[in-house]
Amino acid sequence: MPESEEQLCAESTFTKVFRAYAKTLHSYLFYQTGNDSLAQDIVQEAFSRLWKNCQKVAFSTARGYVFTVAKNLLTNNHQHQKVVLQYEQTQPSSSKVQDPQFLLEEKELAHQLQAAIADLPEKQRVVFLLSRIDKKTYKEIAELLGISRQAVEKRIYKALDSLRLVVAALK
């Protein structure tokens, strides 16, 4: 294993690991948080910690290490995000009423739809966004999240069912 550890500390090998996993990790974190800059920050911090601990991490476990560090950083940030979300929901909208009625209604509908997606349980929201926004197949989502294809199908079905109820209530 010392050879693998030394290889990971080589800049070219580390760059290869970064290029192989950074985009996937960013996508995963983005769908977990809905915040691109937070996802980028966590990816950078995860790889920074990998670099700092390259002597301790085997090359073969680098992917797992980076994803575990990222998940832990995300968990640590979770309480802060809940407070921010609660604060944003209590603030009155500062939109200007200069637009026609249609644009105002469209903006309200988009806001309500975003809120409905945000209110989905985390597992449903992540799978829904990976499917509908990132255009990933059920198989790709299952592999990314480490779950079965049937679990992906069930989560998407439940997410769509919840969103249908929200849209029906808006009519």
Q: What is the pTM of this model?
A: 0.47
Query: Which tokens is 27 given?
Result: 């996508």
Read off the pLDDT of residues 49-94 as tens digits, 9 standing for 90 and up.
999 998 888 888 999 999 999 998 888 887 665 676 777 777 655 5
Domain boundaries, the chain: 1-91, 98-171
CATH number for 98-171: choose from 2.30.29.30, 1.10.10.10, 3.40.50.1000, 3.10.20.600.
1.10.10.10
Neighbour-count burial for 138-171, b at 16+ CB within 10 Å, e otherwise = beebbebbeeeeebbeebbebbeebbeeeeeeee
Least confident of 29-43, 45-59, 89-103, 113-127: 89-103
